């Protein structure tokens, strides 16, 4: 029998039958298992949305915070304890809408967190408004005349910012999704995994079938170290490429730049204030 | 020209006034240090415009033999560094004010003959030495000389101060300093000025810190090892202080992309076991409010330093006000407990900032430290810091397999575990949740969880700090104040010389200590003094105790109360 | 099995309960419309979980000959759509409750014989027609039949309702509806159920709207032509309503990238002469607070619809609470006036939403409309809307060359120009500013500007709406309520049948009308009823009037008070 | 004498002598004059910062709002009255730090506003902390060990998002800056003008001289319609190119997609609610 240390057993999952989120959940649990991670040493951080319910369905540590704010919370966690594996997970609205500024700056900061975005091209939990990734013409009760803005291209923006790991997956392909997630977690530094995901209830345009027909994998020959090439692939018209677009192995990882970790990786909570030093600091205010 | 007033004084108020970028800060830094080192009590305060160059800013340094620590309107010695200076502090100049400056250049047309001016050609002297930039150092020398600071000590300090600069620059500054010192001796010798403030032998060894440093030192003493913030005057100084000492004290100091990120990082850090704070000001804090609610729901500790400035919106970014009390008190949607401190003394700030971390950790709530621009920028000397009263108490528990983050307990506090410490899992949730920290729609459990969160308020009330009574216990009039007005009101009280008037100062403004009402009821008349336009603390008192304070002295110009102002207003009321 | 209880009733509470995605809404929409069209009074309310599929949700439809508009615990007819339904509403089922459903499939193990079940094989019938999806339409038919809705009218409505679907689907739904209707007739003929609620001839022509529509219609009536918002339950419905009618009414309706953007867009829009609103809920509103302060400083009008839900943080996203009153009242840093409305009746919402735009424009302040999930989702029929009481009054002036945006005036209100209308320039500034709207550091002017902004509060107080007294003027006990609890408390008061108890409802909660205190003082006993845990409105009353309400009935489970609950709690207290 | 309708006359300007902002101010006023714009029909919107004081120094309509929030306010203004010319102006911290999310989404929305960013690579008004565009190694009282994160490349991100107009200028070259501003204002749709600006008080690294030495103009042969080429130029190492990187003339302008302006451009404030229609709407609630 397969070892499933991250399984929650028989719980009530609030997603709709047929939702792509189930496959992402399976892929994630499988990835975590294959990476042989310890549930006690993993934290899944999320915002609010259907995707953001994810951590409640994985047997591990959970930080389910505010809509759009998973990334800063994850950064705080990772920086306070670099021994933890930290995943920031949520929906397209969560990460690219409400949380857009954190997305931009997380790429620059390059903290060692894995950013998994369930991209169903819609705000599902709030019942079907357009998200930043909704396609042009997509109609909703708010976008009654259809979306007119070009969808947010997270892959291209991440490459433009020289992100250290940029990938796209499709929930329908559990196996490859799992592999990509594994690579992302294994990567040191900020890793974006944008996962195309079908929402059976609110996105009748970008369905499972649509994704099947409108995606393909980058060729093996694609060189993820070539930024311009990666950008070309990210912005090409037509079908959406899947796979690892770009890697920048040279970017310093945020935690490594933090003075507190220059000589030791001990988590902050295990450290003590050096009262002697504090006294020295205070005494320096006597003379200077 | 009369110098009698200065001669009689045992405390002298020196005001430096000039444009931003003119180097007032250099004069101030050197002077306060050397004066303290030679045994004077020093109190420094400042007011300045929101610009990097130009405008009119002023710094007051009180040199005293007494233990006073507040700003006064009175100016004994004015050093105007530009033409606008006399206008800027105009209302505060009296015939007793000695103006040290270039008669033609600076005092010029402002003088109708009613000013007491001692003409010192700072620029000329400086130019002779090598450039007008040295005129500030000349001025520094004059003051050092007037206060009879030991000449060698003074010059040594100047050398140390400029030690980062090129050799010639150090030399020229020494020269300028010497020149100034000589001028002072001439003034003394000629009888034009004679200062005789008694020295306090202890002062030389005293600590000299400002409000920002006090908060920072307190934070370190309280175990703070994480600060994430976004720059905003006047709160940035705390971020700067902790950044400077980050390496030394294993502190993660991160400038976030915005305030929302800053506080969410801090909550993440606490979750993972760090002791985190944010420092911000009104507008930045407004952006953090959703996350304050998150702290309430997660039952996450968090320490928020909120340095107030006049609002609404951008308002007066470099000025002072006590206008964000209600904002802090009602911040975050939904209902959950919190603690709000408002230090009055610098020592309070050290103690309260350190306490804030322990109480946040113990009760798993947001704890606020409310200061303001005046407080951040004020400094004075004191023999020691109350570190012995502090000490780090950590409440994090090691988890086991059955660990439940939100276990229902009697006092509402559930033992707090952190991920990676023990064999349990730690789940925190911004939705209403069950004991394990998972989303629930069980509405009976909802009620229990609300009750649990609110139950902590009782616990917090037990720990509330009592207000401090200044004056006799058998008062008929009671002045009520909070936060940064402590020293000003206390000194004003001294000036009033009325045994029947006492002063009750609150350094914890929420929740109030249980003795509050009895203090208020004892008085025939209660007067609240607040640095805002709507008497926010009086409303809070009314809400918590039912006591309605009738008389209020309010100020909201952007400047701190002066001692004289409080005295005058009180005299009108009493 | 007894049906006597139902037979005697002149109002019947029907509850539909099932999973999200099971089509309760379809049943509800058809039923409420056809029942109203055939002359019944209809009141609909709902409670639901934060999920798209599964869980347990319920909708209550009260069909009445009386003018009641609130939710009751009592269930006269229950239509359980899944097995969890009986558990979900379990506490509300009595022997008098008639359960219409599949005995084996759904009622099954829950029945210990104490339930009154009428076995209707919905699924079987539906399957025979062409699929289980039609079972809801069968149920709809049963209810329509039981209420003796005209058969042809009913079938016509079903046809219209499904008119967007394929021909065969329409046909099958008609068949299902017919089948259900027939079953009802059999039940009536057999004497199993007999309903005799009197029809109100007017109802058929009545308007049927819910809270969200009421706010939206009011906004249009108030001249709203701009809405920028970010989706958040339960406030989104207003954005949806105005988006749907955007083209018709020249409304710009924009979904912003976040709440901060939404409100800053709205302020920009007002500046350029539009009448803008935002709609949001607690957490989203918390993010808007900095910009509320900006409105205060710019003296910009803005209308904020804040639909409350239980906090803190994400809390219970689809539930109801009155927990954000203080958040709104003290939102934004710094000190500036505001108005807060809290409609109780749907008619109020129309009137107040339209008023909000006029008052925001007149006084150049933020105006809040505080509703909640219960209010948003409630609907009932009414003969007309109070449009005649409304009307658009625009206060924008045409500028000339000498125009000054912040001209100091006696009542604090400066004529508001907009760019491009007249020959003047319009400068607004978030810093403290001079009369022309440019940054100033003149601290005397600062004081004048604070006074000017706060002076508007007096103006606003003059316009404050009085509370509504329900019951006799010579009460000894006064119940105080605000916002969405209006109908519930009113109906409970009717049930109490006590002449000495009256009810005072506030639809404007800030500032309070000047008569407030005299109402309170007249009573021997005052009881506040609020949908929160800390009695926020009672605190506000205390703050504004000094009156301390001792007795409070508070609910914070996430559900609205029911009539029975209020009656029971009041009986305990009185 | 040159006509200077946008001049404020003799006012106190709060900038430091030698600051690059003065030249931007001159370039802007000159551009506005040459475009023959009417001060009454122009609005300059800003956030908070040194750069954001700009509108107070131009004789026109001013909306000086919150730090980071100039773009949404400008969007609201432009959408409420498309007859106005709207400029959103501020610093690098204002627009790319606090306001990063609005920057991202303004590009997508493509409202007809000109976004002028005074990029001095530092937070000047708050006295010298690093900004998102500060260069690696830049030390400040907060970044005591020096900046470790790669500077935010606004040009690349804008191109990645297919912005409709993307340009970079240098304050030191008043004339070309003026020309670029003119082109940006004339452009229909969102136009980014990132202006490198020296801060004499807090940026001693990226000085006037540094900018002089580290910038050059894109060749005339550069084709601003070629997105990949533009991206290459935006991300090339070494000196910073100046000029118009990219244009996308095909992007629909936000105001054109708003139904209220389909048949008329009349500003909203001149319109009246159609009470008859409202009555029809209400009456529809009687039958349906
Ligand atoms: C501050 C704030 N604004 C709005 C919301 C309401 N909200 C909850 S989830 C959500 C969007 C969900 O979309 P997405 O992130 O794409 O997740 P999905 O449900 O599609 O998986 C919104 C707007 C909220 N919870 N908090
Ligand atoms: C919400 C908020 N946070 C922080 C500030 C403080 N603040 C004012 S200007 C500024 C940054 C200025 O940098 P930039 O935008 O680059 O403009 P510059 O001064 O360099 O021209 C900051 C952080 C503020 N006013 N409001
Ligand atoms: S609404 Fe869409 S995203 Fe949410 S659970 Fe259902 S199918 Fe999945
Ligand atoms: S601080 Fe820098 S950006 Fe600000 S005015 Fe001075 S030189 Fe210019
Ligand atoms: Mg989504
Ligand atoms: Mg800058």
pLDDT digits (tens, 9 = 90+) for C465-501: 999 999 999 999 999 999 999 999 999 999 999 999 9
Q: Which residue out of D121, D149, D228 would a mutagenesis test of the A interface target, given it has the greatest number of A Cβ atoms within 10 Å? A: D149
The H or E element containing residue B443 is helix B443-463
Q: Are B442 and B502 part of one and the same domain?
A: no
SS3 for C538? helix
Q: List, in sequence order, the alpha helices (H) in C248-369.
A: 259-271, 282-298, 325-329, 346-363
Contact predicate C340/C328, CB 8 Å: yes
For C101, counting Cβ atoms within 10 Å of its Cβ (0-12 exposed, 13-18 middle, 19+ buried), the class is buried
pLDDT digits (tens, 9 = 90+) for A152-167: 999 999 999 999 999 9
Average pLDDT over every residue of D30-53:
98
Average pLDDT over every residue of D167-196:
98
A123 alpha carbon – ligand 5 mean position (Å): 4
- Ligand with smallest separation from the Cα of A15: 3
B110 token code pair: 């402002």
Nearest-CA distance from C520 to chain A in Å?
Answer: 41
Give the chain A residue whose CA is nearest to the CA of B33: A288
Q: Which residue out of B162, B212, B420, B435 would a mutagenesis test of the A interface target, given it has the greatest number of A Cβ atoms within 10 Å? A: B420
Flag whether C300 is in a domain. yes
Average pLDDT over every residue of A256-268:
95
* B246 to A260: CB separation less than 8 angstroms, yes or no: yes
Confidence band (pLDDT; 50, 70, 90) for A2?
Answer: low
Average pLDDT over every residue of A38-61:
98
Rounded-to-integer distance, Cα D76 and Cα C271, Å: 9
Q: Are C382 and C483 part of one and the same domain?
A: no
Flag whether C154 is in a domain. yes
Among A67-76, C379-388, D86-95, D117-126, name the one with the lowest average pLDDT: C379-388
- Ligand with smallest separation from the Cα of A198: 3
- Quick one: which of B422, B444, B424, B419 has its CA closest to B434? B444
Query: Which sign, positive or negative, has the C-alpha torsion A262, A266, A267, A273?
Result: negative
- Quick one: which of C377, C417, C374 has its CA closest to C397? C417
- Ligand with smallest separation from the Cα of A93: 1
Q: What one-character DSSP code corresponds to residue B315? A: B
Rounded-to-integer distance, Cα B408 and Cα D232, Å: 59
Rounded-to-integer distance, Cα B183 and Cα B144, Å: 10
Residues at CB less than 6 angstroms from ligand 3: A 15-16, 19, 21, 50, 120, 124, 199-202; C 52-53
Q: Indicate which CATH number applies to the domain containing B70.
A: 3.40.920.10
Rounded-to-integer distance, Cα B353 and Cα B409, Å: 28
Q: Are B366 and B497 part of one and the same domain?
A: no
Flag whether C5 is in a domain. no
Contact predicate B77/B117, CB 8 Å: no
The H or E element containing residue C161 is helix C151-161
Pick the residue with more confidence: B544 or B9? B544
Q: Are B110 and B230 part of one and the same domain?
A: no
Give the chain A residue whose CA is nearest to the CA of C228: A142
User: Residues of D with CB below 8 A from A101's CB?
Assistant: 99-101, 104
Flag whether B442 is in a domain. yes
Structural domains of chain A sorted by starting position, each given as residue range(s) with its CATH number in brackets: 21-262 (3.40.50.970)
Q: What is the pLDDT of residue B9?
A: 82
Give percent above pLDDT 70 in chain D: 99
Give the chain B residue whose CA is nearest to the CA of A41: B420
Confidence band (pLDDT; 50, 70, 90) for B409?
Answer: very high
Give the chain D residue whose CA is nearest to the CA of A232: D228
Confidence band (pLDDT; 50, 70, 90) for C388?
Answer: confident
- Taking the CA of residue D90 as reference, the ligand 2 atom at the shortest distance is 15
Place of tokens 């002017």: C445
Contact predicate B333/B266, CB 8 Å: no
C558 alpha carbon – ligand 5 mean position (Å): 26
User: Residues of A with CB below 8 A from C53's CB?
Assistant: 14-17, 201
Flag whether B5 is in a domain. no
Q: ipTM of this model?
A: 0.98
CA distances from B61 to B24, B27, B532 (A): 12, 11, 25
C258 vs A97, A130, A201: nearest CB = A97
Place of tokens 């004498």: D1
C54 alpha carbon – ligand 3 mean position (Å): 11
pLDDT digits (tens, 9 = 90+) for D251-285: 999 999 999 999 999 999 999 999 999 999 999 99
Q: Are C131 and C62 part of one and the same domain?
A: yes
Nearest-CA distance from B529 to chain D in Å?
Answer: 31
Judge if the upstream peptide bond of residue B260 is cis by omega within 30 degrees of 0: no
User: Residues of D with CB below 8 A from B236's CB?
Assistant: 126-127, 129, 142
Average pLDDT over every residue of A236-248:
97
Flag whether C1 is in a domain. no
Flag whether B99 is in a domain. yes
Rounded-to-integer distance, Cα A150 and Cα D251, Å: 9
Confidence band (pLDDT; 50, 70, 90) for C161?
Answer: very high
Q: Indicate which CATH number applies to the domain containing B535.
A: 3.40.50.920
pLDDT digits (tens, 9 = 90+) for B500-528: 999 999 999 999 999 999 999 999 999 99
Q: What is the pLDDT of residue B5?
A: 60
B257 vs D17, D97, D142: nearest CB = D97
pLDDT digits (tens, 9 = 90+) for C103-155: 877 777 777 778 889 999 988 999 999 988 899 999 999 999 999 999 999 99
Q: Are B156 and B32 part of one and the same domain?
A: yes
Flag whether C6 is in a domain. no
Atom 23 in ligand 2: which residue has the minimum CA distance?
Answer: B231
Rounded-to-integer distance, Cα A271 and Cα A273, Å: 7
Mean pLDDT of chain C: 94
- Quick one: which of B325, B339, B335 has its CA closest to B372? B325
C207 vs D53, D63, D285: nearest CB = D285
- Quick one: which of C502, C504, C505 has its CA closest to C474? C502
Atom 8 in ligand 4: which residue has the minimum CA distance?
Answer: D19
Q: What is the pLDDT of residue D2?
A: 55
Q: Are C339 and C453 part of one and the same domain?
A: no
C398 token code pair: 């045409």
B2 pLDDT above the threshold of 50: no
Nearest-CA distance from A6 to chain D in Å?
Answer: 35
Average pLDDT over every residue of D18-33:
98
pLDDT digits (tens, 9 = 90+) for B63-94: 998 878 899 999 999 999 998 999 999 999 99
Q: Are B344 and B425 part of one and the same domain?
A: no
- Taking the CA of residue A120 as reference, the ligand 3 atom at the shortest distance is 3
Boundary-marking domain end, from B405, B440, B463: B463
CA dihedral angle for residue B223, residue B228, residue B230, residue B234, rounded to 10 degrees = 0
B273 vs A48, A75, A267: nearest CB = A267
Place of tokens 């106005």: D84
Q: List, in sequence order, the alpha helices (H) in B38-119.
A: 84-88
Q: What one-character DSSP code corresponds to residue C103? A: I
Contact predicate C138/C156, CB 8 Å: no
- C-D C-beta contacts closer than 8 Å: 204
Judge if the upstream peptide bond of residue B410 is cis by omega within 30 degrees of 0: no
Mean pLDDT of chain A: 96
Please give all residues whose CB falls under 5 A of ion ligand 6, grouped by chain where several chains appear: D 91-92, 120
Q: What one-character DSSP code corresponds to residue B553? A: E
* B316 to C556: CB separation less than 8 angstroms, yes or no: no
pLDDT digits (tens, 9 = 90+) for B91-141: 999 999 999 988 877 777 777 778 889 999 988 999 999 988 899 999 999
| Structural domain of B418 | 396-463
Count of domains forming chain C: 4
Q: Are C240 and C313 part of one and the same domain?
A: yes
**D107: number of CA atoms within 13 Å, CB side?**
31
Note if the pTM is more than 0.95.
Answer: yes
- Quick one: which of B261, A153, B244 has its CA closest to D129? B244
Q: What is the pLDDT of residue A1?
A: 42
* C333 to B286: CB separation less than 8 angstroms, yes or no: yes
Q: What is the pLDDT of residue C5?
A: 60
* C286 to B323: CB separation less than 8 angstroms, yes or no: no
Q: Are B413 and B369 part of one and the same domain?
A: no
C380 pLDDT above the threshold of 90: yes
SS3 for B301? coil
Strand D240-247 versus strand D215-217 pairing type: parallel
Rounded-to-integer distance, Cα D196 and Cα D176, Å: 12
Give the chain A residue whose CA is nearest to the CA of C316: A48
Boundary-marking domain end, from B389, B422, B452: B389
D1 pLDDT above the threshold of 70: no
A130 vs C236, C255, C314: nearest CB = C255
Boundary-marking domain end, from C200, C226, C249: C200
Q: Are B453 and B476 part of one and the same domain?
A: no
Pick the residue with more confidence: D216 or C105? D216
SS3 for B390? coil
Q: Are C196 and C230 part of one and the same domain?
A: no
**A250: number of CA atoms within 13 Å, CB side?**
5
Rounded-to-integer distance, Cα A286 and Cα B39, Å: 12
Q: What is the pLDDT of residue A265?
A: 93
C17 token code pair: 């309960």
């Amino acid at each position: 029998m397969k070892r499933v240390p991250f399984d929650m057993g028989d719980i009530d999952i609030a997603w709709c039958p047929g939702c792509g989120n189930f496959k992402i959940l399976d892929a994630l649990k499988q990835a975590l298992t294959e990476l042989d991670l310890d549930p006690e040493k993993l934290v899944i951080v999320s915002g609010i949305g259907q995707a953001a319910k994810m951590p409640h369905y994985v047997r591990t540590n959970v930080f389910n915070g505010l809509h759009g704010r998973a990334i800063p919370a994850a950064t705080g966690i990772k920086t306070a304890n670099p021994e933890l594996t930290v995943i920031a997970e949520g929906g397209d609205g969560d990460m690219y809408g409400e949380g857009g500024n954190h997305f931009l700056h997380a790429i620059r900061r390059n903290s060692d967190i894995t950013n998994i975005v369930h991209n169903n091209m819609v705000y599902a939990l709030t019942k079907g408004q357009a998200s930043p990734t909704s396609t042009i013409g997509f109609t909703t009760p708010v976008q009654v005349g259809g979306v007119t803005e070009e969808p947010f291209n997270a892959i291209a923006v991440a490459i433009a910012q020289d992100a250290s790991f940029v990938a796209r997956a499709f929930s329908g392909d559990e196996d490859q999704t799992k592999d990509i997630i594994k690579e992302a977690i294994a990567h040191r530094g900020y890793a974006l995994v944008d996962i195309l995901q079908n929402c059976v209830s609110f996105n009748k345009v970008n369905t499972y079938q649509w994704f099947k027909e409108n995606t393909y994998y980058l060729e093996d020959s694609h060189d993820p170290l070539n930024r311009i090439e990666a950008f070309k692939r990210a912005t090409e018209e037509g079908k959406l490429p899947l796979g690892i677009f770009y890697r920048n192995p040279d970017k310093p990882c945020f935690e490594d730049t933090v003075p507190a970790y220059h000589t030791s990786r001990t988590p902050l909570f295990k450290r003590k204030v050096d009262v002697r030093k504090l006294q020295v600091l205070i005494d320096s205010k006597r003379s200077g | 020209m009369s110098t009698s007033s200065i001669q009689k004084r045992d405390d002298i108020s020196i005001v430096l006034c000039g444009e931003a970028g003119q180097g007032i800060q250099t004069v101030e830094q050197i002077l306060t240090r050397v004066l303290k080192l030679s045994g004077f009590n020093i109190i420094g305060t400042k007011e300045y415009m929101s610009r990097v160059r130009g405008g009119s800013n002023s710094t007051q340094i009180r040199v005293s033999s007494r233990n006073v620590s507040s700003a006064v309107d009175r100016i004994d010695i004015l050093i105007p560094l530009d033409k606008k200076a006399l206008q800027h502090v105009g209302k505060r100049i009296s015939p007793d004010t000695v103006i040290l400056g270039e008669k033609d250049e600076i005092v010029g047309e402002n003088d109708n003959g009613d000013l007491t001016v001692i003409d010192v050609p700072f620029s000329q002297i400086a130019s002779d030495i090598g450039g007008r930039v040295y005129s500030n150092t000349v001025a520094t020398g004059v003051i050092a000389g007037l206060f009879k600071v030991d000449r060698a000590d003074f010059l040594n300090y100047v050398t140390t101060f400029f030690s980062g600069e090129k050799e010639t620059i150090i030399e020229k500054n020494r020269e300028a300093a010497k020149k100034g010192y000589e001028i002072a001796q001439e003034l003394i010798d000629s009888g034009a000025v004679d200062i005789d403030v008694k020295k306090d032998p202890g002062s030389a060894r005293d600590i000299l810190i400002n409000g920002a440093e006090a908060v920072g030192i307190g934070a370190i003493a309280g175990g703070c090892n994480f600060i994430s913030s976004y720059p905003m005057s006047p709160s940035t100084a705390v971020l700067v202080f902790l950044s400077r000492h980050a390496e030394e004290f294993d502190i993660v100091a991160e400038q976030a992309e915005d305030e929302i990120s800053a506080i969410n990082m801090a909550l993440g850090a606490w979750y993972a076991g760090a002791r985190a704070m944010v420092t911000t000001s009104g507008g930045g804090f407004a952006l953090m409010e959703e996350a304050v609610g998150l702290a309430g729901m997660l039952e996450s500790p968090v320490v928020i330093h909120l340095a107030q400035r006049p609002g609404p919106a951008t308002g007066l970014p470099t000025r002072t006000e006590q206008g964000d009390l209600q904002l802090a008190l009602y911040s975050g949607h939904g209902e959950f407990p919190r603690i709000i401190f408002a230090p009055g003394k610098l020592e309070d700030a050290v103690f309260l900032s350190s306490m804030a971390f322990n109480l946040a950790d113990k009760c798993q709530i947001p704890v606020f430290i409310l200061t303001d621009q005046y407080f951040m920028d004020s400094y004075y000397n004191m023999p020691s810091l109350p570190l012995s009263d502090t000490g780090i108490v950590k409440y994090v528990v090691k988890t086991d397999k059955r660990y439940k983050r939100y276990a229902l307990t009697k006092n509402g506090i559930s033992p707090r575990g952190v991920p990676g410490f023990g064999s349990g899992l730690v789940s925190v949730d911004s939705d209403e949740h069950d004991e394990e920290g998972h989303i629930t729609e069980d509405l009976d459990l909802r009620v229990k969880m609300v009750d649990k969160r609110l139950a902590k308020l009782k616990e917090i009330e037990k720990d509330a700090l009592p207000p401090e009574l200044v004056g006799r216990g058998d008062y008929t009039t009671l002045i009520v104040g909070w936060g940064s007005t402590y020293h000003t009101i206390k000194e004003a009280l001294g000036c009033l010389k009325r045994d029947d008037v006492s002063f009750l100062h609150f350094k914890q403004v929420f929740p109030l200590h249980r003795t509050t009402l009895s203090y208020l009821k004892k008085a025939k008349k209660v007067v609240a003094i607040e640095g805002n336009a709507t008497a926010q603390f009086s409303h809070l008192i009314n809400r918590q105790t039912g006591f309605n304070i009738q008389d209020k002295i309010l100020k909201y110009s952007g400047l701190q109360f002066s001692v004289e102002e409080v005295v005058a207003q009180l005299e009108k009321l009493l």
